[in-house]
Amino acid sequence: MYDSYMTEVPVSEARNRLAEVIEEARRSGEPISVTRRGRRVAVILDSDAFDRLVDIADDIEDRRELAAARADDDYVPWDEVKAALGLW
């Protein structure tokens, strides 16, 4: 997704300009790849973008677990859960 246009910064440069690199990631909203010998070793990412990615990953995992539970016929329908919790 980001690899094709992600800004790259060598570790030595990131070390020397860390505050600037962080600010650039925050301002642009785009991740910055930190490289060592031309290989990505870390990514600097705005905290809001990170939070969105974690939320998306959590949603995907929840959907996988639900699909697995349904495949095993091991789930309680939402209407039954709401009724059991007195939400109806």
In this prediction, residue 87 has a pLDDT band, given cuts at 50, 70 and 90, of confident
Q: Are residues 69 and 55 in the same domain?
A: yes
Predicted local confidence at residue 16, as pLDDT = 97
Structure tokens, 47? 């905290």
- Count structural domains, the chain: 2
pLDDT bracket for residue 78 (50, 70, 90): confident
Same structural domain, 41 and 52: no
- 55 and 41 within one domain: no
Strand partners, 36: 39
Asked if 51 and 34 sit in the same domain, the reply is: no
Alpha helix (H) ranges present in the chain?
A: 11-16, 18-28, 47-71, 78-84
11 pLDDT exceeds 70?
Answer: yes
Domain holding 31, by residue range, is 1-45
Q: Report whether 6 contacts 34 (CB < 8 A).
A: no
